[in-house]
Amino acid sequence: MSQIRVLSLEVEDAPNTLTKVSGAIRRRGFHVRGISVGPSRHAGRFRLTLQVDHGHAEADQVRKQLERLVEVVEVEDLTGDEVHSRELVVANVATSDVDALVRLGAKVLSGTTVEFSGERDEVGAFIDELHRHGIVDVARSGPVVMRRA
């Protein structure tokens, strides 16, 4: 049975790190649903968060493959853990009436450009709402996930 798995990696900030990580994922046939990369709390490293669509056994195999890469310092499978998870969407809409979007929790950046952040499903629902307002352009981030303290 397939499901969305959440993997959090701490990796060295080195040339070709992302290429090596994506190669390990590709070889196992994973479908990447979301990805985000950002700095970690350690200098010279960054945090890579992946949402991948595959079953449990395959996730264990790809985790082992990732752990073998020299550039990978740590791999955590956060699937099923209590986590904070956010995605961000920034959109230009065709209408100047953005009040309805603000009532849904959007923030107006300027004119008809809005931003919204939330859980994956909330962001998906917000994008559905954007279609009713006429999307001119939209950008959506990958997941930012952290285990709850």
Provide the token pair at 117: 């952040």
Question: Which residues does residue 87 pair with via DSSP β-bridges, in sequence order?
Answer: 118
Total tally of structural domains belonging to the chain: 2
CA distance 64 to 81: 19
- Residue 87 is part of which domain span? 83-147
CATH number of residue 102's parent domain: 3.30.70.1150
Look at the chain and count its residues: 149
CA distance 75 to 48: 9
User: The whole model's pTM is what?
Assistant: 0.81
**Which residue, 61, 77, 93, sits at the end of a domain?**
77
- The per-residue pLDDT for 47 is 95
Least confident range of 36-40, 63-67, 107-111, 124-128: 63-67
What residue has token string 């999307």?
135
- The per-residue pLDDT for 139 is 95
Write the pLDDT tens digit of every residue in 62-78. Answer: 888 899 999 999 999 99
